[in-house]
Amino acid sequence: MHIQASTGSSVTPNNTYDTSSPHHPFRIRTAKNEPTEKQLMTFMLAPKVKEEFEKFCLQLDEDPYKNPEFFYKIAAQKLKTLLPKSLLDSLEKMSHGQEPGMILIDGFPIDSHIPTRSDYDDVIDRRDNKTHVSEIAMLAIASLMNAHLHSNPKEQQGAVVHQISPTKTKYFTASSQGAEPLIYHVENPFEKTPPKLVPSWNRLT
């Protein structure tokens, strides 16, 4: 199973589910079919989960974009001690192709400060001028689901975590760097090993 992760902000949600929660929900979905409301599960994490995991991440002197494998196991071990068993069980079921079709997690570990277009227009500059709590948490989720990290050398310098946020030059496009709504779509279907699961952290701006 391959997994493609993304983080950032978007002007409009790209599906029918409400992602406007002030808790900045983390979402993981199947890469092919749009899940029904019946297949959707929502979890609310206690504040201490974010606090303890953020503290853990800030103690590590590694870059998840340069060495994602470093975090693949070590971060998963930490996150596993913080997440409720019901969520861990749901992640395991999803990793085997079972329901739920989408999981929303409120209170997921994120960075305290996220640069915006007013700080840097280029998404790579935004990525490199912040802490990487969100990315490390997503790598941990991938490990908990026994997923292979998926990357494309032609996209965002081959990073396994993509920045999905509008830029000036592509603002009016329906793309990962545009503000036009993205319809529910199959993720990278023409690649040799397309991802089966897509986790993302969402913030509306």
Please give the average per-residue pLDDT across 185-193, as a whole number.
69
Contact 147, 91 (CB under 8 A): no
How large a percentage of the chain has pLDDT more than 90? 20
- pLDDT tops 80 at residue 181: no
Q: Yes or no: say if 149 and 139 are a contact pair by the CB < 8 Å rule.
A: yes
Model confidence at 14, in pLDDT bands (50, 70, 90)? very low
- Condensed to tens digits (0 to 9), the pLDDT of residues 110-167 reads 888 888 888 888 888 988 998 999 889 989 998 998 887 777 787 778 788 877 778 8
Give residue 75's region: left, alpha or beta (phi > 0; psi -120 to 50).
alpha
> What confidence score (pLDDT) does residue 16 get?
29
In the chain, % of residues over pLDDT 70: 72
What sign for the dihedral angle of Cα 99, 19, 50, 159? Answer: positive
Q: Which residue has the tokens 């002007």?
A: 11
What are 58's two structure tokens?
């800030």
Q: What angle do CA 25, 134, 164 make, to 5 degrees?
A: 75
Quick one: which H or E segment has residue 54?
helix 47-58
The DSSP-derived string for 27-45 is EEEESSSPPPGGGEEEEE-
Question: Binning pLDDT at 50, 70 and 90, where does residue 2 land?
Answer: very low
Identify the pLDDT of residue 77.
Answer: 94
Mean pLDDT rounded to a whole number for the chain: 76
State residue 17's pLDDT score.
Answer: 30
Whether residue 53 has pLDDT greater than 60: yes
Which residue shows structure tokens 């081959």?
158
Per DSSP, the three-state class of 58 is helix
What does each C-alpha distance from 139 to 37, 175, 204 come to in angstroms? 26, 23, 22
Residue with the two structure tokens 């994490």: 45
The span from the CA of 91 to the CA of 167, in Å, is: 33
Q: Residue 174 to residues 32, 168, 185: CA-CA distances in angstroms?
A: 19, 13, 12
Q: What is the pLDDT of residue 1?
A: 41
